Amino acid sequence: MWIEGYKPIELLLILTITTFIYIGVNYLLQKIGKRIPTFPQAILIWLGTYFIFKYVLTPPIPSALMYTYMGLVTLVVFLFISSTEKGWTEFKRPILNTVMAVTPIYKGVRTVSFVVLPLLIGYGTYDFNVPKFDEPIELRTVHPAPPASVTVRGTNFTLQTARNPYRVDEKGDYLPVGKEDKYFKQNPFSPDAKGYLLYVREGGSIFFQNCHFCHGDNLNGRGMFAFAFNPIPANFSDPGTIAQLQETFVFWRISKGGPGLPREGFPWASAMPPWEEHLTTDEIWKVNMFEYWHTEFFPRTWD
Amino acid sequence: MDKILSGFNKTRAVVVGVVAFAFIAAGTVVLTMAETKKEEKPAAAASAGRPAKPSQADVDAGKQIYFKKCVWCHGPEGAGDGPGADRLWPRPRNFNQGTFKIRHTGSGELPMENDLFLTVTHGLPGSAMPPWNGILTDQQRHQVVSFVMTNLVKERNFQDMENEEFHVIDYGKQVASSEDSIKKGKDVFMNKGKCVECHGAEGRGDGNKTQKDEWGFPIFPADLHKCWNFRGNREDPYNPKNVFREVSTGLNGTPMPSFADVLTPDQRWDVANFVISLCPKRKIDPLTAHPAAQFVVKSHFVTGEIPKSPDDPMWQNFENQYIGLAGQIIHKPRNFVRLVDEVWVKSAFNGKEIAWAFEWDDRIKSVATPEAMAQEASFEETPPAGQPIASREYPMFNDGVAIQFPAKWQNLTPPEKPRFVFGDVKNAVDLWKWESDGTVKAYIGHGAMGGDLKLEPTANQDVKAVFSEYKDGRWRVILTRVMTTGDKDNDVQFEMGKYIPTVFFAWDGNNGDHGLKSSISTWYYTILEPPIPTKAYIYPFVAVILAFGLEGWIIRKANAAKPQRK
C-alpha cells in the first residue's frame, strides 16, 4: 500500500530502487564487455544523486542539508575510486589526457573546459555573494510531550487514566481499544445506531461543523482553508498522527489547541484554537472518537 | 508408455485450452474496447451519454462509502442537508432533483456517469468538496456515483428512456489560444455572448450581484480572475477546455445558461481562451490546486519617492505576490464563509518609508451603515438550526484590509511569534487597518482569547493610505509608514535584511465582516531586500581572473612536460 505523506519510507524506497537499478545496469554492461570507465561513472553517480535529492524527493531538501549530503556523496565517490591503485589511475587518466591535450580532441575539450570553468566559478562566486532570502527552516516537535493532567472547562483530567466516556457498545459497556473495528463499516445514520455508532454520528456532525474547514472532508489536512496555512493542518489519515497517539493526548490537543502547545511545539505556528472555547468536554470526546472511526485507526494505549 | 503418452496428451490439451482461452479473451477485450471507443464519440443519438444501469452490488458498495464519507455534507437522503451543510456556502449539492452543474450533456439534462465520476475524482475547487482521487479507488468512486444516481436522484430517472435525453457536447476542433483568439473572445464576451452582464466589465463576477440558484440561495457569477476556483476546472485551472464545456452546457441549477445555440464552437473556444487569459499565471501547488504560497514577501529597495499610484511603472515592475486567506473560524464571531479568499501584495521601501500595495477582488463595494455599527455588539455567529449561512443577510459593514507585525519582533527569539490572530497577552502586535470609509489606523493588539478582542489604537498614527480605489470588482489600496518611529514599544520598526513576521487580513463588509469576523492568512515573513552589495560584482571578477591565471600555469606546466613524454 502506498502511504501518502509518509516520507521516510518513500525516501528509502526511492534510494534503494535507484541503487539496485544502477548496480544491475552496471553489472549487465560489464557482462557484455561495455563497462563504463571510472571517470564518467563517478560523474554519473554524483549527478544522479544530486538529481534525486533536488528533483525527485519532496518536500525539497534545504540547501544547507543539500551541501552536507552532496559533500558526503563526493567523499564516498572519492573513497571508492581511490580504494584501489587501478581505479585511481583509471580515474585520473581522462583528466591528465585533457590537461596534456594528448590528441586534437582532448585539446578541444581542454580549450572548452578551460573557458567554461572560470566562468562557472565566476557565476558561483556571484551567486554566493548575492544576499538571498529563502523561507527560514524552522523545525518543530510535532508531538511534544503531553502534560500529566489537563483542566478543561473546570474539570481535571489525568491523561494516563482518563477514559473516553462515549467509547461504549450498544449496552453501554466500555469498549476496549481494538474492539471497535466491527463498527468501522457500519452506518452511523442508521435509525437503530446505538452507543459507539450513535456517538460517532454526533462527533462527525461536530467535525463537519467546525473542523473540516481546515482538516478536510477526508481528515487528511486538506480542507478548503488549508492552502492559507503553513504548515498545513494535521493529516489524521496519515499513520504518523492520531494513530501514534493516545485518545487522551488527542483530547488535550483539541481542548487546548495551538496556544496550549509547549514552546518546542511552536504554538505560534498553529492555527488550532483551544476548542474548549467552543465545545463542551462531551463534544470533544465525541469528535475525538469520530476521528478514529473515520480513519479506521486504533488509538495507542498507555500500556 | 501409455501413461506418459496420456500425460503428454493432457499437457497438450491444457496448452491448446490455454491458447484458445487467451484468443477468446483477447478477442473479447478488443471487441469491448472497440465498443467503448464508439461510445466515447459524441454520437447523434440523444441517448449516447446515458449511464448504464449499475449493478446492485455496486450500488450497495456505494451506499457503504456514501454513509462513511459523503453523508456529513450531502445528508442521509442526499438532499444536501447533512450536519455540515448549514455552515457552507456554496451549499452541498442536493441530489434529489438530479440537477448537476458540471456535465457534458445539454442544458437541463442529467449528467453522464463519467461527469459525476470526474466531479468526485477532482472535487469542486473553491468549495468544500475535495478531490477524492487517491482517497477512494476508481472502483469505489464509480460505486458511490452508482448509489447517488440510483438512490439519491429521486425526482428523475437515468433509465427513463422516454423523457431523459443525453445530448453530449461536441468539442469540435480546439482553437489554440492566441492574441487573435483572445481578442475575438473578448468581443464575444462584451457583445454577442453578453457575458459581461453577469461577469462584469473586467470579469470579476461583479455584473449581477442579486441572483439566486434553483433552490433560492444567493449565488454570485464566477470571478474569472480566479481560475483555480472554477468548480469544473478538474484541478487543471489553465485548461480552456473546461471553460468551453461550461459555456456549451451551462450550469444546471444556476443562472449560467448554455451558449451552444448562441455561439459557434469557434466562438466558444475564443471566449474560453479569453477567460483563461484573465487569470494570473502562477505556479500551482498540486496539493491545494491554488497558486503555490511563497511565505517570504519581498519589499523592494527603490531610490527617491515611492510612487503613490499602483499604475506607476515602478509598482508595475514588481510581481504581485499571492496571499491565500482562510476564514477566521477560531474565535467568535467566526467567519465560516469568507468571501475574500486571497489578497495580492507588493512592497517597496526607500530607507525612510515603506509602502504596501494591496489588491483584492470584491464583488460589492460596501461602506458601513449606522445601523450596522449599532448592531455590531449583538452580532451572533452560529446559524440557528434550519437557517443556512448561505441565505443569511447581514448589515453592511466596511470593506477593509490589514497587515500585522509583532510590535517588538527584535525582542523575540526566532522563530517565536505572537498568536497570529491579533497577537497575545505576552507579545503584542502592531496592526495597520484600512477601511472603506477612509479610516486608516494603527492598533496595538493583545489577542482574542475567549473571543475578547483586545485591539487599541496606538498613540502614534503614522500610517497613511496614499491610494485607494474601487473599480470593476477590485479594491486597490496603498499604505505607507515611516520605517522607524519614536514609539519603539508599540510601533513595529523596520530593518533591512531581517525576517519580520507578517499577517494579512481582509474584510468583506456586505458579508457582515468586521472585527474578528475576517479573512486571515498565517504568519508570513517580510524581508526588506538590501541592494546588491558591490562585493557581489568584484569578487566574481577576481575569481575569474585567478582561475584563468591558474589554467595558464597548468598549460605551461603541461607543455613543458610534453617533450619528455615523447
Per-residue pLDDT 10s for chain A (303 aa) are 345 555 677 778 888 898 899 889 989 998 988 888 888 888 988 999 899 888 887 677 777 888 999 999 999 999 988 888 888 888 888 888 888 888 899 989 999 999 999 999 999 999 988 888 888 888 888 899 999 999 999 999 999 999 999 999 999 999 999 999 999 999 999 999 999 999 999 999 999 999 999 999 999 999 999 999 988 899 999 888 999 999 999 999 999 999 999 999 999 999 999 999 999 999 999 999 999 999 999 999 987
Please report whether residue A212 resides in a domain: yes
**B 494-523: CB under 8 A from A:** 497, 499, 520-523
Whichever domain contains A248, its CATH number is: 1.10.760.10
pLDDT at B7: 43
Averaged over B254-266, what is the pLDDT? 96
Strands (E) in B362-453, as ranges, are 400-406, 429-435, 440-445
A289 and A165 housed in the same domain: yes
Please report whether residue A130 resides in a domain: no
Say yes or no to pLDDT of B540 above 70: yes
pLDDT at B41: 42
**Closest CA relative to residue B363, chosen from B213, B220, B194, B197:** B220
Of B126, B127, B536, the CB nearest to A129: B536
**Residue B552 in grid coordinates:** 595558464
Residue A209 distance to chain B (closest CA, Å): 5
Please report whether residue A252 resides in a domain: yes
What homologous superfamily does CATH list for B179-278?
Cytochrome c-like domain (1.10.760.10)
Please report whether residue A114 resides in a domain: no
A93 and A155 housed in the same domain: no
Say yes or no to pLDDT of B3 above 70: no
Q: Round to the nearest angstrom and report the end-to-end CA distance of chain B.
A: 78
Please report whether residue A196 resides in a domain: yes
Residue with cell 473516553: A164
Q: Helices marked H in chain A — which ranges?
A: 7-31, 38-51, 63-81, 85-100, 104-129, 195-210, 212-215, 247-256, 281-295
Ramachandran region of residue B71, left (φ > 0), alpha (ψ -120 to 50) or beta? alpha
> What's the fold here for domain B294-528?
Immunoglobulin-like (2.60.40)
Mutation for B interface: A7, A183, A229, most B CBs within 10 A: A229
Between CA A287 and CA A211 the distance in angstroms is 9
Interface contact B296, partner A, CB < 8 A: yes
CA torsion sign for A109, A114, A120, A123 is negative
**Residue numbers in A near B72 (CB within 8 A):** 204-205, 207-208, 212, 217
A283 and A155 housed in the same domain: yes
Of B84, B130, B325, the CB nearest to A209: B84
**Residue numbers in B near A101 (CB within 8 A):** 558
Complex-level ipTM beyond the 0.90 threshold: no
pLDDT at A211: 96
Q: What are phi and psi of B444, to 5 degrees?
A: -105, 125
Averaged over B35-58, what is the pLDDT? 69
| Residue contact A208–B82, C-beta within 8 A | yes
Interface contact B122, partner A, CB < 8 A: no
Mutation for B interface: A125, A134, A135, most B CBs within 10 A: A125
Of A76, A100, A124, the position where a domain reaches its end is A100
Range of the domain at A38: 7-100
A273 and A168 housed in the same domain: yes
Say yes or no to pLDDT of B369 above 90: no
pLDDT bracket for residue B5 (50, 70, 90): very low
pLDDT bracket for residue B449 (50, 70, 90): confident
Residue A170 distance to chain B (closest CA, Å): 19
The percentage of chain B sitting over the pLDDT mark of 70, rounded to a whole number, equals 89
Question: Is domain B56-152 in CATH 1.10.760.10, yes or no?
Answer: yes
pLDDT at A250: 96
Please report whether residue A262 resides in a domain: yes
A161 and A59 housed in the same domain: no
Please report whether residue A144 resides in a domain: no
Averaged over B73-89, what is the pLDDT? 95
Interface contact B449, partner A, CB < 8 A: yes
By mean pLDDT, which of A95-109, B196-210, B230-244, B535-549 is the weakest? A95-109
**Closest CA relative to residue B337, chosen from A230, A218, A279, A213:** A213
Contacts (Cβ under 8 Å, ≥6 apart) of B457: B441, B442, B443, B444
| Residue contact B525–A138, C-beta within 8 A | no
Averaged over B56-61, what is the pLDDT? 97
A247 and A168 housed in the same domain: yes
Of A42, A66, A100, the position where a domain reaches its end is A100
CA B446, chain centre distance (Å) = 32
Mutation for A interface: B66, B68, B91, most A CBs within 10 A: B68
pLDDT at A145: 92
| Residue contact B130–A114, C-beta within 8 A | no
The answer to whether B200 and B470 have CB atoms below 8 angstroms apart is no
pLDDT at B29: 53
pLDDT at B445: 95
A78 and A158 housed in the same domain: no
B134-158 pLDDT, tens digit per residue, is 899 999 999 999 999 999 999 999 9
Please report whether residue A120 resides in a domain: no
Residue B281 distance to chain A (closest CA, Å): 18
| Residue contact B522–A228, C-beta within 8 A | yes
pLDDT bracket for residue B373 (50, 70, 90): confident
A164 and A241 housed in the same domain: yes
Domain count, chain A: 2
B318-342 pLDDT, tens digit per residue, is 999 999 999 999 988 899 999 999 9
| Residue contact B324–A99, C-beta within 8 A | no
Of B417, B522, B530, the CB nearest to A131: B530
